[in-house]
């Protein structure tokens, strides 16, 4: 028996990076996967790969978590057999730009706030009531070390991730005794499409972020999430900070020349 056989795990931002790794790792553990993302072609490829490799079911759902009505329609009217969600991994998020506050882009700020904070709340508001009614389930919020330490020019991104951590802590209070566990995972530097998105497709600048050091992979973070999800029901891991060995803080990184 795999530890998550016959369960259902919903992953947002499942088309790449940490989200895709979570979908794969939780499928390996036997969970059926609801994969939510904006890019339908990547979801279709993910579904084919996971079902072939791991013999579980995958329900791909194209949805932008920023769109509250779309989230309500998509997650509030799941097909029969998919409605009893056991685990939710709130992973959808991004950084846009890296500028001092007085030079920041309103468009970048809005996208980060709407995705990282409002999008997470949109998903939680739809999926939590059935969990509370069933008195079981788990929420895993993927934050960032930026939710613990700010860094130069990270202002609004750091603010959104501080908010994610605060929401996780508030949920742990609100849901105490409900049978629902809440885990907040704050990764350090992870090599995904994160920096490519932050720098609006500038591949050279994105690559420089990880130059000379060994960052985490999406799978490293996904395996931490799986560990948290597979503890006995009476064990709740509230908060995890996972860092690459070459990183001590948001601003202290060892780089080999």
Dist. CA 136–CA 155, nearest whole Å = 36
Residue 3 is assigned to a structural domain of this protein: no
From residue 247, alpha-carbon distances to 147, 165, 206, 213, 223 in Å are 16, 20, 17, 8, 19
Dist. CA 216–CA 47, nearest whole Å = 24
| Predicted confidence (pLDDT) per residue in 213-228, tens digit | 999 999 999 999 999 9
Residue 73 is assigned to a structural domain of this protein: yes
pLDDT value of residue 219: 97
Residue 253 is assigned to a structural domain of this protein: no
pLDDT value of residue 200: 87
| Predicted confidence (pLDDT) per residue in 134-153, tens digit | 999 999 999 999 999 999 99
Residue 38 is assigned to a structural domain of this protein: yes
Pull the structure tokens for residue 92: 């959808």
CATH of the domain at 143: 3.40.50.720
Residue 249 is assigned to a structural domain of this protein: no
**Taking a C-beta distance cutoff of 8 angstroms, is the pair 220, 228 a contact?**
no
pLDDT value of residue 193: 84
Residue 254 is assigned to a structural domain of this protein: no
Tokens 């259902």 belong to residue: 8
How many CA atoms lie within 13 Å of 240's alpha carbon, on the beta-carbon side? 22
Dist. CA 47–CA 15, nearest whole Å = 10
pLDDT value of residue 253: 97
∠17-19-24 over CA atoms, to 5°?
100
Find the domain containing 185 and state its range.
8-242
Pull the structure tokens for residue 101: 């506050």
pLDDT value of residue 207: 87
pLDDT value of residue 196: 85
Residue 1 is assigned to a structural domain of this protein: no
Residues forming the active site: 157
Which of 60, 61, 7 has its CA nearest to residue 29? 7
Dist. CA 243–CA 186, nearest whole Å = 8
Below-50 pLDDT ranges, the chain: none
Considering the entire predicted model, what is its pTM? Answer: 0.96
How many CA atoms lie within 13 Å of 109's alpha carbon, on the beta-carbon side? 12
Question: Can you give the length of the chain in residues?
Answer: 257
∠8-166-16 over CA atoms, to 5°?
45
Domain count, the chain: 1
pLDDT value of residue 206: 87
Residue 252 is assigned to a structural domain of this protein: no
Dist. CA 53–CA 33, nearest whole Å = 13
């Amino acid at each position: 028996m795999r530890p998550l056989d016959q369960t259902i795990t919903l992953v947002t931002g499942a088309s790449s990076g940490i989200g895709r790794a979570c979908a794969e790792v939780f499928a390996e553990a036997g969970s059926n996967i609801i994969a939510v993302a904006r890019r339908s072609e990547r979801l279709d490829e993910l579904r084919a790969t996971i079902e072939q490799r791991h013999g579980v079911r995958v329900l791909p759902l194209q949805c932008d978590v920023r769109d509250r009505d779309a989230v309500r329609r998509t997650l509030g009217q799941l097909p029969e057999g998919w409605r009893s969600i056991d685990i939710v991994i709130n992973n959808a998020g991004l950084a846009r730009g890296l500028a001092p506050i007085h030079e920041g882009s309103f468009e970048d700020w809005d996208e980060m706030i709407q995705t990282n904070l409002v999008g997470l709340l949109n998903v939680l508001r739809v999926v939590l009531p059935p969990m509370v009614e069933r008195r079981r389930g788990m929420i895993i919020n993927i934050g960032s070390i930026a939710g613990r330490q700010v860094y130069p020019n990270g202002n609004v991104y750091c603010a959104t991730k501080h908010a994610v951590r605060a929401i996780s802590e508030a949920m742990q209070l609100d849901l105490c005794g409900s049978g629902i566990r809440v885990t907040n995972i704050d990764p350090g530097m992870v090599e995904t499409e994160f920096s490519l998105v932050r720098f609006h497709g500038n591949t050279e600048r994105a690559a420089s972020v990880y130059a000379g050091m060994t960052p985490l992979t999406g799978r490293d973070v996904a395996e931490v999430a799986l560990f948290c999800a597979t503890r006995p029901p009476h064990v709740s891991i509230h908060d995890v900070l996972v860092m690459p060995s070459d990183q001590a803080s948001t601003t202290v990184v060892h780089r080999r020349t």
